[in-house]
A and B are shown apart, each in its own frame.
Chain A
Amino acid sequence: SQQGEEDPQALSIQEGENATMNCSYKTSINNLQWYRQNSGRGLVHLILIRSNEREKHSGRLRVTLDTSKKSSSLLITASRAADTASYFCALTGGFKTIFGAGTRLFVKA
């Protein structure tokens, strides 16, 4: 299946700490994206990393991609209570973009 698998399923940290979420997949991809979803609301695009890129930054976000291990990680530095949300990796191959089950992040103030 093209679907990514996020790890961990849930993560609880203190404000100010870093949060790391991982995504593993099995098929070849064109790019990998990370999205965020606040409870019951629409998904918001965070970052896209292409298959020929290894690392990308956007503000407090850092994404890495290792195509040899078929895995990606999302690091949120200096987390804030407002970062509490579900985070999804999305794999794009051909016309489809398939989402993983997500990681629920809870940041305690």
Chain B
Amino acid sequence: DSGVTQTPKHLITATGQRVTLRCSPRSGDLSVYWYQQSLDQGLQFLIQYYNGEERAKGNILERFSAQQFPDLHSELNLSSLELGDSALYFCASSVEQMNTEAFFGQGTRLTVV
């Protein structure tokens, strides 16, 4: 158990809908990362937060947004969902904001139908 909790584990929704994925980092970790993993794209970095502030942005679509709350949990919001958004979404956390190992949650499997 990495100590990172992601909910829900599975999510099935229709195209055009909006969903929210939640991540609770390990106790004491200030950094939260979001990644998308699909079969044909590998593991894609989406966004990183550190202590509530956005630190880095990757290939995150405009339809997606994220935030980190004062209690350090994070949410990834996906809107206007398309079939191609079906993927595993991972959250990871680390103590520092760079150059350190990250601990991954078990992921949320999103299926858009």
Contact = CB atoms under 8 A, between A and B. Distances in A.
Interface stretch (A17-25, A60-68, A74-82, A95-103): A95-103
Contact of B101 (A30, A48, A88): A48
How many residues of A sit at the interface, in one of the four size bands? 20 to 34
Contacts, number: 57
A95 B35 contact: no
Contact of A30 (B42, B50, B99): B99
Interface string A25-67: 0000011010100001111110010100000000000000000
A65 to B, nearest CB: 14
Interface of B is mostly: strand
A85 B7 CA distance: 24
A45 B97 contact: no
Interface residues of B, number: 27
A43 B21 CA distance: 18
A70 B35 CA distance: 24
A59 to B, nearest CB: 16
Contacts of B17: none
Interface string B75-87: 0000000000000
